[in-house]
Amino acid sequence: MSFIRQYITCWVACVLCGLTLAEANAAEHPRLLLTADGVGQIRSSLGRVPLFDQTLASTKQEVDAEIASGIHVPIPADFSGGYTHERHKRNFFIAEKAGALFQILGDERYASYLRDMLFEYAEMYPTLPLHPKERSYARGKLFWQCLNDANWLLYMSLGYDAIYDWLSEEDREFLNAHLFRPFADFLSVDNPQFFNRVHNHSTWGTAAVGMLGLVLDDTELIERALYGLTDDGLEVGALDDDGGFIKLENQRVGFLANLEEPFSPDGYYTEGPYYQRYAMYPFLAFAIAMQNAKPEYAVLEHKNNVLMKAVGALVALSDSDGDFFAINDAQKGMSIFTPSMTLAVSAAYAYGGRDPQFLSIAEGQGRVRLDQAGLALAEDIALRRGEPLQQQSVVLRDGPEGNEGGIGVLRGGDLAVVFKFTAQGLSHGHYDKLSYALHHGGDEVIQDYGLVRFVNIGQKGGGNYLPENTTWAKQSIAHNTMVLDQKSHFGGNYAVGSQHHATLEYASLDNESLLSIYAKDSNAYPGRDMRRSLSLVTLPGLNKPLLVDLFTVTGTANMIDLPTHYLGQFIEISESLNVQREPAPLGIDSGYQHIWQEARSQPTSGNALKFSWLVANRFYTMFRSTEPGDFFVHGRLGANDPDFNLRRDPTLIHRRVPQTDRTTFVSVIDSHGEYSPVTELSQGQQSVISDVKIIFDNTEYTVASIFLGSGDAFTLAWAHQDFSEDKIHEVDLPQGLLRWAGPQQIEKQEVEINE
């Protein structure tokens, strides 16, 4: 297309759209993440701030290589992993970077490259049909789903902002009329089912549209983004292709509603950290751009600074290596060091109080943003102001108002226990009420399976969610929680699960020798009341905390399964196991169809189970109270998995046919030793624990004894009601009266209690 033709087309388009030529000149550019002031600071700091200079040099190298390879704007054809998808994705990443380089280095090559790329898009876009892949509930044009088109618009707007003042008025008007405005309309008014909901998709959609609105200083676009479409014509109750609700009754919409609803007042994002990490970028990018360009809207401070709290929540919900705990649909290995967290870290530092732990995260990321916030971070790293990650025991409430359960992390020694008593977590939620996972340093000891998806690996179902995500990963038996009658919580029904949440009864995080959280759920199985208390207990004379787990259910059930999804090498078990010559699937649905029954124990006589395993060269032993007739199934994941999508992980399932309407399990997990394959030496091979017994249990109290190999014994007592700290509780045991204050108690037994 010649320039003359471009100009004419542009002029015509402007007239048609009713644009005024002055519109885009209301304030100077750049004004979004990188500001004109920031450019000045950066230019005067070049060569003095190592991490910033390194990031600039590597970005320059990357963009220069792209410029050398030419501009590639192919007709869209592929799913993620395919050429056209990856190419368009690369284009928008490079566009933002080219814009920053132009601002910082003043080299017009970058501006020209970006302009030429935009013109190629503007030439293609007006006649582009919907993407040929038909899988999505909201098909895009450049990509198979609007979500990726929104990514494109958000990043491209950042690049556009950087060259906006450099472009001729004619070029701007042409691009606005042929590319940007139709693009924003397509993502909003043309796709309300994508734009007008509360979901990470809409966060991207609204942020992208809003970002363009800021570039153009277009109040209508900005407010469309903030408040959503007034009239979207959507029906209440429609579902997307992940099974998520598109529209609920009285649903508020727009960017601010997306910020208010999924984040709790503590910054917990109801889908979990894996999706939060992805969503943080549009949340923060648009909020910071608003702060820079339109501070009067106070978007960054919205909901009592929840976005800053949300970055802290991501750090709280990661292990000591910075890997996020697997919560709901979550791919393992994703961490606070991911590039998509670069903005979050610099925003949390620059706008959130300069917490020095973010400096050490930024150092781990090895790069900063090429804007004034990234410069501030890099300067303070150079001044060695960083401090190591500060991860403490914490409870983060769930729900927009913070009253829909939550998630807790107990940390002691190098252990971290993640206890989940949240709401459903939107369409990426799992049926895992009162589940937990155990981490030791950067290793998983008792796992949450995560998701069944190979993100961006095209050979595995196009990189999308695989059927086993629904049939296994979301099901209750895939989690370390209680399963009644082989059915998942809420019958595995999303609509039902979405109406409920577990509740926190109490948390005690101050006493380092007894960290404890007690939560309950009475909706996962109607008429059944499940309660779990998880504690990290440091007994006198032991230098490592024990994980103590009380799990009780009141109400009828024909069969109770309590799986322990340990990882690593089976070492020994106290029960006699009959291994199966030809293992059969353990059930036909609810996830059981994916578990091979490798071995099954004899029914126990009621002695505690003792089970030891070795993972990441550390020894662990679980002691578990049993009742006569209980037995154990050693399961192996992988049955009914025709495409080998599942890992062949082990699980140990405690199975009980309860004799009464109330039954209780008490477990103690001891992390007791280490092994080195290089020296072949092991230390602490044997647990210090010798036995665990429940000695009293009713709906008011449970009392258990823990016996050590040393001969010492300890009594653990839990109250199941009236959790105030000063409430005095009394239990009349055969051995005498046990009396204590507060919800939970550990006491050394002066004389061993015999039943």
Cis upstream peptide for 76 (omega within 30°)? no
Catalytic residue among 428, 594, 634, 729: 428
109 vs 460, beta carbon nearer a second copy: 460
Give me the torsion for CA of 48, 50, 52, 55, rounded to 10°.
140
Shortest Å, Cβ 307 to a second copy: 22
Neighbours of 739 (CB within 10 A): 13
Nearest distance, CB of residue 135 and a second copy, angstroms:
19
Of 536, 688, 678, 539, the residue nearest 612 (C-alpha): 688
Cβ 238 to a second copy, closest distance in Å? 29
Whether 428 is catalytic is: yes
Nearer to a second copy, 376 or 599 (CB): 599
Choose between 408 and 583: whose C-beta lies nearer to a second copy. 583
Nearer to a second copy, 647 or 662 (CB): 647
Looking at beta carbons only, is 414 or 649 nearer to a second copy?
Answer: 649
CA 87 vs CA 77, 80, 101: distances in Å: 11, 10, 21
Residues at the interface with a second copy (CB under 8 A): 81, 331-335, 337-339, 454-460, 569-572, 577, 579, 581-585, 596, 598-599, 612, 614, 634, 636, 638-642, 644, 647-648, 650, 675, 677-682, 685
Report whether 369 contacts 348 (CB < 8 A): no
Residue position matching structure tokens 């025709």? 642
Question: At its nearest, how many Å lie between a second copy and the CB of residue 338?
Answer: 5
Catalytic residue among 275, 281, 351, 465: 275
Between 134 and 572, CB nearer to a second copy: 572
Work out the angle at residue 399's Cα, subtended by the Cα atoms of residues 407 and 425, and round it to the nearest 5 degrees. 70
Minimal distance, residue 150 CB to a second copy, in Å: 17
Q: How far is the CB of 489 from a second copy (least distance, A)?
A: 27
Q: Is 23 exposed, middle or buried (0-12, 13-18, 19+ CB in 10 A)?
A: middle
Nearer to a second copy, 217 or 598 (CB): 598
Q: To the nearest whole angstrom, how small is the minimum distance from the Cβ of residue 546 to a second copy?
A: 20
Whichever of 75 and 584 has its CB closer to a second copy, that residue is: 584
For residues 722 and 701, the answer to whether their CB atoms sit within 8 Å is no
- What is d(CA 561, CA 575) in angstroms, rounded to the nearest whole number? 17
How far apart (Å, rounded) are the C-alpha atoms in residues 113 and 107?
11
Could you give the angle at the alpha carbon of 287 between the alpha carbons of 284 and 288, nearest 5°?
A: 80
- For residues 635 and 596, give the distance between their C-alpha atoms in angstroms, rounded to a whole number: 5
Exposure letters 518-537 (e unless 16+ CB within 10 A, then b) = bbbbbbbbeebbbbbbbbbb
Q: Provide the b/e sequence for 419-457 (b: ≥16 CB within 10 Å).
A: bbbbbbbbbbbbbbbbbbbbbbeebbbbbbbbbbbbebe
H helices present in 269-367, as ranges? 273-293, 302-316, 342-351, 357-365
Report residue 405 CA to chain centroid gap: 16
Residues in contact with 70: Cβ distance below 8 Å, sequence separation at least 6, in sequence order: none
Residue 18 vs 711, nearer CB to a second copy: 711
Contact 565, 446 (CB under 8 A): yes
Active site residue 275: yes
Instruction: Judge whether 241 and 260 are in contact, CB under 8 Å.
Output: no
**How far apart are CB 384 and a second copy at their closest, in Å?**
24
CA separation for the pair 510, 742 (Å, rounded): 14
Q: How far is the CB of 79 from a second copy (least distance, A)?
A: 12
**Which of residues 25 and 456 has its CB atom nearest to a second copy in the complex?**
456
Question: In degrees rounded to 5, what are phi and psi of residue 539?
Answer: -80, 150
d(C-alpha 342, C-alpha 339), whole Å: 5
| Cα angle, residue 440 at apex, residues 434 and 446 outer, rounded to 5° | 40
Q: Give the type of residue at 710.
A: S
Cα separation values, 373 from 301, 332, 647, Å: 17, 29, 41
**CA 243/CA 2 separation, integer angstroms:** 47
Q: How far is the CB of 431 from a second copy (least distance, A)?
A: 25
The rounded Cα 566 to chain-centroid distance in angstroms is 21
**Strand ranges (E), 429-494:** 435-440, 443-446, 483-484
Give the nearer residue to a second copy in terms of CB position, either 130 or 577. Answer: 577
| Alpha carbons 282 and 424: distance in angstroms, whole number | 23
CA-CA distance, 412 to 390, in Å (whole number)?
A: 13
Yes or no: say if 173 and 13 are a contact pair by the CB < 8 Å rule. yes
* Smallest distance from a second copy to CB 134, Å: 23
Please say whether the beta carbons of 704 and 715 come within 8 A: yes
354 or 460: CB nearest a second copy:
460
Q: Which of 657, 291, 717, 231 is nearest to 514 (CA)?
A: 717
Catalytic residues: 275, 428
